[in-house]
Amino acid sequence: MEGFEVTGPYVSALLMSMGALCVFVWGVLSGAFHRADEASVRFCEMEMESEANSEQAKRTCEMEMESDANSEHAKRTDE
């Protein structure tokens, strides 16, 4: 069994890769990847919408901060 120490990792890696290939082929043949593009497009659209909402919130916050700063400046000049 001295040779197994050298070839053992290669044999186990080969068996694992063959198992992964079998799972992939099974997934393709069973239709697990059917319409997967639609799910990725929906996810991307949700992320873009979320990003747009966060940018809108940032702009609103910045506008409120500017208006507060302007009103404080106006109060100081009136006094």
Q: pLDDT tens digits, residue range 5-38?
A: 888 899 999 999 999 999 999 999 998 888 878 8
- CA distances to 20, 57, 65 from 70, rounded to whole Å, are 63, 20, 9
Predicted pLDDT of residue 23: 96
Instruction: Give residue-wise pLDDT tens across range 33-52.
Output: 888 788 888 888 888 888 88
pTM for the model stands at 0.46
